[in-house]
Amino acid sequence: MTHEFTEKDWNDYLDGRAEAGTEARFERHLSACSECADLRRRLRLAEGQLRLQSGYWQHTPVLADAQIEAAWQRVVTRLRADELAPERSASIPERLRFLEDLLMLLCGTRTATNALRAAAKGLSTDAPEQLSRDHWPQFLTNLAAITTIMCGKTGAQLVWESGKL
Ligand SMILES: [Zn+2]
pLDDT of residue 58: 44
Residue 33 near residue 25, CB atoms below 8 Å: no
| Burial class, 102, CB count within 10 angstroms (exposed 0-12 / middle 13-18 / buried 19+) | buried
Whole-number Å distance between alpha carbons of 130 and 127: 6
CA of 28 to the centre of ligand 1 (A): 10
pLDDT of residue 138: 93
Domain ranges of the chain: 1-32, 33-163
Report in angstroms the alpha-carbon separations of 37 from 121, 129, 137: 31, 21, 26
Local structure of residue 86 (DSSP, 8 states): P
CA of 88 to the centre of ligand 1 (A): 21
C-beta neighbour count of 37 within 10 angstroms = 15
pLDDT of residue 52: 57
CA of 12 to the centre of ligand 1 (A): 16
CA of 6 to the centre of ligand 1 (A): 11
pLDDT of residue 62: 45
pLDDT of residue 24: 92
Residue 76 near residue 161, CB atoms below 8 Å: no
Give me the tens of pLDDT residue by residue for the chain, a chain 165 residues long: 458 788 788 878 877 888 999 899 988 998 888 888 877 777 777 666 655 555 544 444 444 455 555 655 665 665 554 455 555 556 888 788 878 877 877 776 677 888 898 899 888 777 888 888 899 999 999 999 988 887 777 778 878 887 887
CA of 66 to the centre of ligand 1 (A): 41
CA of 57 to the centre of ligand 1 (A): 35
Whole-number Å distance between alpha carbons of 15 and 13: 5
pLDDT of residue 63: 46
Counting every residue written for the chain, the total comes to 165
CA of 89 to the centre of ligand 1 (A): 21
CA dihedral 80, 101, 26, 82 (to 10 degrees): 10
CA of 36 to the centre of ligand 1 (A): 4
Buried (b) or exposed (e) across 12-29, using 16+ Cβ within 10 A? Answer: bbeeeebeeeeeebbeeb
pLDDT of residue 135: 92
pLDDT of residue 8: 80
